[in-house]
Amino acid sequence: MRLTRQSNYAIRALVYCAINDPGLSRVADIAKAYGISELFLFKLIKPLVEGGLIQTVRGRHGGIKLGRPAKDISLLETIRLTEENFALAECFEDGADCPLIGECDLNSALREALGAFFAVLDGYSIADLAQKRRSLRERLGLKFVEPIALAH
């Protein structure tokens, strides 16, 4: 199974927002950091907004940010919003005409494999991918600002 570019870049956009938190991220900056078109990025952000993974902030200093804490956004949830089809073989598709459907164990084996794939993805969050915040910010051209320690 191969994930589409939509899923790949959706995850990258979420990671960008996570490492840029609490600031707002501009679509143009995300597109530039990953070398993709802004139009493509706008299209793939739409289902993330509709799914509550990203919030948009309008206005002159607007942008996007995570809709929930990064630890609460699983890779599985992201991929389910951006992938159209999880058919691993023809027998998964509606209208398949294989004479062995219902008797072949390939379908069962592939369903088990897909279930294991989903379980692993569900075990990882955007926060897990953004753990190396300092080095990721550097690689994406974002300045790292040390948190200010508050005196008690």
Total of domains in the chain: 1
pLDDT at 88: 67
- pLDDT 10s digits, 33-55: 999 999 999 999 999 999 999 99
Place of tokens 């951006």: 82
- Does residue 75 contact residue 81 with C-beta atoms inside 8 Å? no
Tell whether 144 is covered by a domain: no
Domain that holds residue 83: 5-139
Tell whether 95 is covered by a domain: yes
Tell whether 42 is covered by a domain: yes
Tell whether 12 is covered by a domain: yes
End-to-end CA distance of the chain: 53
- ∠6-125-40 over CA atoms, to 5°? 15
CATH number for the domain spanning 125: value is 1.10.10.10
Tell whether 145 is covered by a domain: no
- pLDDT 10s digits, 96-125: 677 666 677 777 788 888 899 999 999 999
pLDDT at 149: 46
- pLDDT 10s digits, 46-91: 999 999 999 999 888 889 999 999 999 999 999 999 988 777 666 6
Predicted TM-score (pTM) of the model is 0.81
Tell whether 146 is covered by a domain: no
